[in-house]
Amino acid sequence: MNAVSLTLLQRLRSAGVTPTAARIGVLQVLEAQDPRRLNSEEIFRELRRRGMRTSLSTVYRITQRLHAVRLLLRELDDTGKVHYRLQWTRHEAPCVRVVCRRSGQSVQLDDVDLHAGLIAAAARAGLNVAGRTLVLELPAL
């Protein structure tokens, strides 16, 4: 088993999720595409391209489950379509991700002061987002 798979297994187990071939496959697809975000249909097509026999409904259930245990970030585009990307682990530095809604491209900003300032601003507005990766979306023009 390669190091990437071992890391994915550890992430699943630490989140209390049983590692299955389909769950590992979904994480591998998202890891290979990082930092690009993918919707469930794109993940499904990539899994099929890689030879994995699974259903679209299984991919939907897996992405929802992995989001619920905080292994995936969930983002909406302008049309309301859900996209996923890998979530930072608890051991990594806080970051801010800026996403262009039009292109889906993103950039990660590893700026602790910016992250802290945004957390403080959110708290003043009544939102508790401490300990999370913050995603700022740029509107499509």
Per the omega criterion (within 30 degrees of 0), is the bond before 94 cis?
no
Q: Which amino acid is at 130?
A: A
Distance CA 72, CA 49 (A): 22
**pLDDT computed for residue 57 by the predictor:** 96
Residue ranges of the alpha helices (H) in 15-39? 21-33
Distance CA 29, CA 26 (A): 5
CA distances from 140 to 29, 39, 54, 102 (A): 26, 18, 33, 5
Please tell me which residue, 98 or 71, carries the higher pLDDT value: 71
- The pTM of the whole model exceeds 0.75: no
CATH number belonging to domain 1-87: 1.10.10.10
C-alpha triplet 130, 136, 139: angle, nearest 5°: 155
Q: Would you say residue 47 has pLDDT above 70?
A: yes
95 is in an annotated binding site: no
Please tell me which residue, 63 or 102, carries the higher pLDDT value: 63
Per CATH, which fold does 88-141 belong to? Dna Ligase; domain 1 (3.30.1490)
Candidates 93, 71, 61, 90; CA nearest to 16 is: 71
Distance CA 10, CA 30 (A): 16
Could you tell me where in the chain the CATH 3.30.1490 domains are found? 88-141
Q: Would you say residue 2 has pLDDT above 60?
A: no
Q: Would you say residue 120 has pLDDT above 50?
A: yes
Q: In the structure, what pLDDT confidence band is assigned to residue 116 with cuts at 50, 70 and 90?
A: confident
Beta bridge partners of 73: 85
